[in-house]
Structure 1
Amino acid sequence: MNRESLLEATRSQMPARRWEHTLGVMSSAVALAKRYGADPERAELAALLHDYCKYWPIDEQRRVYAEEGLDPELLDYDPQLLHGPIAAEVVRKRHGIADEEVLDAIRYHTSGRENMTLLDKMVCLADYIEPGRDFPGVHIIREIADHSLERALIAGLDSTIRFLLDKGKKVYPLTLAARNALLEEAGRAGFGTK
């Protein structure tokens, strides 16, 4: 499928405001790819498709999730986590996306994971820092992203974890594992977390 067809197929899956977000994630992912030496086209593709199924009804997401035989543990956590793994499977089947690294970046853009690839990090971080995002501390995460993907992602995950704790929600273990792995990685690179 060509780029224009994918753009239209994705745009049709979401309201206009989320499409603006998607365009922001795409531009942010491309900028991060250029800054950190990754393939901008793959970053743009993963960013384009990251929220593909986000606005499907939750019952439909749960149905597809079960049909695909995905990890049932995730169903015990916030339903906002479902759309990444579902999108990875749907775009593989509907649009012939076969690049496993692109699919993983889509799959884990909300939760993170241990041993995140460069592409995983860029799409996850781009989702946090795209220009339309406006939450407490986002400007700090953007500044950190100029120097370290790992430190910026730690700050982003910290923000997410604090939000979930403040709302009395459970934190998905993979998110905690991602944060811990990034702390170790940032430490090995000679960076603290502050």
Structure 2
Amino acid sequence: MAYSREALIEAVSAQMPDKRWQHTLGVMETSVKLAKQYGADPVQAETAAILHDVAKYWPVERMKEIIEQNGLSADLLQYDKQLWHAEVGAFVAQQEYGITDPEILGAIRYHTSGREGMSLLEKVVCLADYIEPGRDFPGVDEIRRLSKVSLEEALVAGFDSTISLLLQKRRIVFPLTMLARNDLVRILEDKI
């Protein structure tokens, strides 16, 4: 059974602390704005934004179990647990909330990592997650500025920021993020 917008909001907001719900509201608003600016479907963008962090506060054991028992990307378990909620969230959106639109599911699945060949909706939701009004990290204002000019330029800046932080902390960089970044750079180079 598919949920109404209001039922989705009620169900998802109940699963997270108020501060994270405020973040989700910011991603919803920013996703709709970016969708309108770049020609994506605002309803799809808002739906993906509502659900993008649905599993963020689930116990790690529960996420691991869902990944293992449902044939999800098991290699994800070798990487930072912060990435798991996106894959699990897409699964939950489909199984528990009746979301069948592959565009929306992809936007939820890749909002943290990106991927090579990102769809327009995936780019919109991923970027919205970076730049929603509550975000405050070094470089976010520049990413926001770039978002007014180019989805790809802004996403490259966002991925560069993430990768740089991971390198500084001597953490493992998830391969999909590198592939996403490099793919976007190629797209931008092809435009020149």
TM superposition score normalised by structure 2? 0.97
The match for 2:123 is 121
The match for 1:162 is 164
Unaligned runs of 5+ in 2: none
The match for 2:53 is 51
What is the rounded CA distance, in whole Å, between the counterparts of 2:52 and 2:22 in structure 1? 13
Match of 1:93 among 80, 95, 113: 95
The match for 2:85 is 83
Letter in 2 for 1:146: K
Task: Write out per-residue CA displacement over residues 21-78 of structure 1, whole angstroms, 9 at most, x where no aligned residue.
Answer: 0000000000000100111010000011000000001111111111111122111110
Unaligned runs of 5+ in 1: none
Runs of 4+ in 1 over 3 A off after TM superposition: none
RMSD (Å), alpha carbons: 0.7
**3-state SS of paired residue (1:55):** coil
The match for 1:175 is 177
**3-state SS of paired residue (1:105):** helix
What is the rounded CA distance, in whole Å, between the counterparts of 2:162 and 2:33 in structure 1? 23
**3-state SS of paired residue (1:82):** helix
1:74 aligns with 2:76: yes
What is the rounded CA distance, in whole Å, between the counterparts of 1:154 and 1:47 in structure 2? 20
Letter in 1 for 2:31: A
Q: CA deviation at 1:18?
A: 0.2
Match of 2:113 among 111, 114, 121: 111
Task: Write out per-residue CA displacement over residues 151-192 of structure 1, whole angstroms, 9 at most, x where no aligned residue.
Answer: 1000000011011111111001111000000001111223xx
**3-state SS of paired residue (1:95):** coil
Aligned pair count reads 190
What is the rounded CA distance, in whole Å, between the counterparts of 1:71 and 1:34 in structure 2? 32
Q: Which segment is superposed worse, 108-117 or 55-64?
A: 55-64
